[in-house]
Amino acid sequence: MYGRYTQDLGTFAKDEAARLRLQEGDTPRPHRPSELLEYTQGRCGPCRVCALQCQRFLISKVGEDWVFLILLGLVMALVSWAMDFAIATCLQAQKWMYGGLDTNVLLQYMAWVTYPTVLITFSAGFTQILAPQAVGSGIPEMKTILRGVVLKEYLTFKTFVAKVIGLTCALGSGMPLGKEGPFVHIASMCAALLSRFLSLFGGFYENEARNIEMLAAACAVGVGCCFAAPIGGVLFSIEVTSTFFAVRNYWRGFFAATFSAFIFRVLAVWNKDEETITALFKTRFRLDFPFDLQELPAFAVIGIASGFGGALFVYLNRKIVQFMRRQKTINRFLMKKRLLFPALVTLIISTLTFPPGFGQFMAGQLTQKDTLVTLFDNQTWAKQGVSDEFEYLGILEAWHHPRANVFVTLVVFILMKFWMSALATTIPVPCGAFMPVFVIGAAFGRLVGESMAAWFPDGIHTDSNIYRIVPGGYAVVGAAALSGAVTHTVSTAVIVFELTGQISHILPVMIAVILANAVAQSLQPSLYDSIIRIKKLPYLPELGWGHHEKYNVRVEDIMVRDIRYVTLNCKYRDLQQVLHGTKMKNLPLVESAESMILLGSIERSQVGALLSSQLSPQRRLLTLRQKVLSEDGHRLSDSSIRFQISTETSSGTPARPALRKPLKPALKRRVPSSPPDSPPAGSTDHTGIALKSLFCANATTDPTEAHGTPYHKAKRVRISIVEEMILGDKMTPAEILEWEEQQLDQLVDFSSAKIDPAPFQLVEHTSLHKTHTIFSLLGLDHAFVTSIGRLVGMVSLKELRKAIEGSLTGKGVKVRPPLASFRDSTASTTEADTTALQQLWDRHQHHHMPREAGPGGDDDDNTPK
């Protein structure tokens, strides 16, 4: 198993190791001793020796993980702090402009609206020009990358710059956007760049497996230094990006995230912003009696409502994106003027939040940070009886409207911010949705808390002591619940504790978060999974929680039985037929059609290469030359040498740049590291008639092929020029066709092809559950099903996805999303009956044939409520 990757990697690593050893053994060593000799003669010889040893020692240390993690933490803390500073300055500038123009409302409005529009437009334009990959959250992409898929250009320096600057501008505009998701992406890019930089000191960072581990740690650092929440950061990044998690990565994450959070907060202290290291949004709730047991139902209500709200948010966000895509006319117009959509959205949102206008009903003048600080406030805003009217001081004043209740302000705030956030996160700038959702959740919690406080002015507790209700605590619970519902995580609870610096509300928070998750997971995918589906990134859905049916579906029920294969003793014509007949990227290689013993798998591109080599003009040339040679001696020998050289260089050059890109995994390296004797995959146009039809048919379907194209094209052109010089048109098309037909009837020589000697195998009886586990653990995208060495079928990601997502599996059972069981606990009596019936019916049928299609079975994309 893993043969394909490992063999390549193996070869590569060996070459690389040999190269490094040679370099180390030959190039610097003779250099250094000579240097040493030179100086040992002089006075400061020992000094030099010592310095050199130190240098060597330091370089050897650079390879250590902890050095890398500390550097990563340090860099990210600095980036985070600098960005926070820049964002704060931007927001201050807007406030200052707005405040300075208080003589004229129109001017004020102009300033209030223009400033964010310009910033967002700049951000969108800048990102679009420099690196369109920087748009959006980045968590979906990181999840895909950590699954082992290569996304081009997602971890480059250009994207890093675009993301940092774009994000700073976007957040500086005061729009309801977050920085958490982008920070995960920024930290990952930082890790990738850092490992590339450190690999200048040695080859330690060349390894793919290690780089993936470092990326996982980097995700934790991203969240950790964004919120100064190391524990929550690690957990959140695990939940959001992984299906299976190696506990050893957990260490790395903790180490780096703690260091990063520490530096991030120390910078604030050094900058005199804070007196000492404390939480970002520190709360001061009562410690001795944080909440009453009888308040728990209210917290549960917050949780359930947040679950529905979270699902609605995801749904709304997706619908907006889909609407924008579907409306061709709008779309075409907006596409032409790419910056119009961001500008328009910003205009609408900032107009509505204009403080002297509608903004007065929704605390429009507060920044996101101020909003959170006020919502987590320790006091009760609602009227407590008649006598004590609450004094709104400082920034709290924003929530106070002379003619409206605080409840009205809160409700308006929640409703407006809800759609604004869902809309704003679709703008093509680097932005996340966590923070806006967090704020909305806090406001909702506050609303419930204030209502409770108004309902029970003296608290619920009937004993001697009066413990008033703390609405701030409700706000904390609401924030955790809603953000948990949108992202489908429970670690938002931990983030909330770390953000507020208080853990006294642990049980209400946990209860609300779990309930919110239960509801949201049964209605919608998480925001990140939703984006993954919208962007059509490869993914494997999660297995459901709680349904035992999934344990009864087996591989034999979902596998594809009718697969094309290559036999060891086949002819080139068979290869051609197989390539014509299937679109599979990997073809099984069996001993013979009778025994069907699986020997390995061979890539489609390799089969293509075998074919093209067989039908290649070079071979034809060779045949021709031999014929000619036998006719008239050594006439062509010098040109054949020329040809030889030209292929050598063309296949030799691309090997160099690959060394400078340690993060590109095996898939990308394969092209340069292929042995130089293997012929090019594509061949000249005027030859290979049989082949031409083949490649025309496949050009659009096979990404690996398309991938290698620029290199192949260059080679192809060069070869054809050389060849043209030599041959001209010595053979007529009819002759060529005849020659090719003749060639196709030869037996295939597999010696030059790269064969994966141990493709992943499953047995017919492997359960869907186990198959899913193995696929997600090992990041497979296909596996062959064998029975005592005999190939009987194949399962790919597609079949698995179909089986899991409920489009009816072989046994008529649908498997549902996590926690789905919570949803239909009221209406599933009939379902149980039909399942039993179907099972009875299936008893007579199964074991023999897989059934692909069947009566509907909803997928989990259904609408909420």
Angle subtended by helix axes 65-100 and 208-227, to nearest 10: 40
Residue 297: CB minimum distance to a second copy, A = 13
Instruction: Identify which range of 173-181, 277-285, 442-450, 642-650 contacts a second copy by CB under 8 A.
Output: 277-285
Nearer to a second copy, 559 or 599 (CB): 599
Which of 86, 107, 242, 411 is in the footprint of a second copy by CB under 8 A? Answer: 242
Instruction: Identify which range of 44-52, 89-97, 282-290, 678-686 contacts a second copy by CB under 8 A.
Output: 282-290
Q: Is 132 in the site for a second copy (CB under 8 A)?
A: no
Which of 177, 191, 231, 570 is in the footprint of a second copy by CB under 8 A? Answer: 231
**Spatial distance between the Cα atoms of 498 and 490, rounded to a whole number of angstroms:** 14
Sheet holding 761-762, edge to edge: 761-762, 782-787, 790-796
Nearer to a second copy, 6 or 451 (CB): 6
**Spatial distance between the Cα atoms of 813 and 387, rounded to a whole number of angstroms:** 63
**Spatial distance between the Cα atoms of 581 and 472, rounded to a whole number of angstroms:** 65
Which of 828, 845, 862, 863 is in the footprint of a second copy by CB under 8 A? Answer: 828
Specify the DSSP class assigned to residue 864. Answer: P
Nearer to a second copy, 405 or 821 (CB): 821
Residue 532: CB minimum distance to a second copy, A = 16
Report DSSP letters for 519-554, one per residue. HHHHHS--HHHHHHHHTT----PPPPSS-GGGGT-B
Residue 503: CB minimum distance to a second copy, A = 4
Nearer to a second copy, 272 or 326 (CB): 272
Contact (CB, 8 A) for 427 and 124: yes
Please list every residue from 542 through 561 that binds a second copy, using CB under 8 A.
Answer: 542-543, 545-548, 551-552, 554
**Spatial distance between the Cα atoms of 599 and 220, rounded to a whole number of angstroms:** 42
Helices (H), 535-686: 555-558, 572-581, 604-614, 617-632, 637-652, 655-659, 666-673
Instruction: Identify which range of 1-9, 142-150, 163-171, 348-356 contacts a second copy by CB under 8 A.
Output: 1-9
**Spatial distance between the Cα atoms of 398 and 560, rounded to a whole number of angstroms:** 63
Which of 778, 807, 838, 851 is in the footprint of a second copy by CB under 8 A? Answer: 778
Residue 266: CB minimum distance to a second copy, A = 7
Beta strands 755-756; 761-762: pairing state = unpaired
**Spatial distance between the Cα atoms of 194 and 141, rounded to a whole number of angstroms:** 19
Residue 782 tokens, joined = 């296909």
Number of residues that bind a second copy (CB under 8 A): 127
Which of 42, 43, 103, 287 is in the footprint of a second copy by CB under 8 A? Answer: 287
Q: Is 843 in the site for a second copy (CB under 8 A)?
A: yes
Q: Which of left, alpha, beta for 614 (phi over 0: left; psi -120 to 50: alpha)?
A: alpha
Q: Is 600 in the site for a second copy (CB under 8 A)?
A: yes
590 membership: H or E segment, kind and range: strand 586-590
Residue 582: CB minimum distance to a second copy, A = 22
Residue 313 tokens, joined = 């948010």
Work out the widest C-alpha separation in the chain, in whole angstroms: 118
Which of 129, 277, 699, 747 is in the footprint of a second copy by CB under 8 A? Answer: 277
Residue 172: CB minimum distance to a second copy, A = 28
Please list every residue from 169 through 228 that binds a second copy, using CB under 8 A.
Answer: 204, 207, 209-210
**Spatial distance between the Cα atoms of 32 and 676, rounded to a whole number of angstroms:** 34
Strand partners for 794: 560, 784
Please list every residue from 506 through 525 that binds a second copy, using CB under 8 A.
Answer: 506-507, 510-511, 514, 517
Instruction: Identify which range of 309-317, 735-743, 757-765, 857-865 contacts a second copy by CB under 8 A.
Output: 757-765
Please list every residue from 290 through 309 that binds a second copy, using CB under 8 A.
Answer: 290-293
Nearer to a second copy, 154 or 784 (CB): 784
Which of 125, 136, 178, 230 is in the footprint of a second copy by CB under 8 A? Answer: 230
Binding mask 780-819 for a second copy (x = CB under 8 A): ------xxxx----------------------------xx
Please list every residue from 457 through 496 that binds a second copy, using CB under 8 A.
Answer: 461, 463, 490, 493-494
**Spatial distance between the Cα atoms of 349 and 359, rounded to a whole number of angstroms:** 10
Instruction: Give the number of C-alpha atoms closer than 13 A to the C-alpha of residue 788, restricted to the C-beta side.
Output: 1
Please list every residue from 29 through 88 that binds a second copy, using CB under 8 A.
Answer: 53, 56-57, 60-61, 63-66
Helices (H), 101-207: 105-130, 139-146, 157-172, 180-198
Binding mask 244-273 for a second copy (x = CB under 8 A): xxxxx-xxx-xx--x--xx--xx--x----
Nearer to a second copy, 238 or 431 (CB): 238
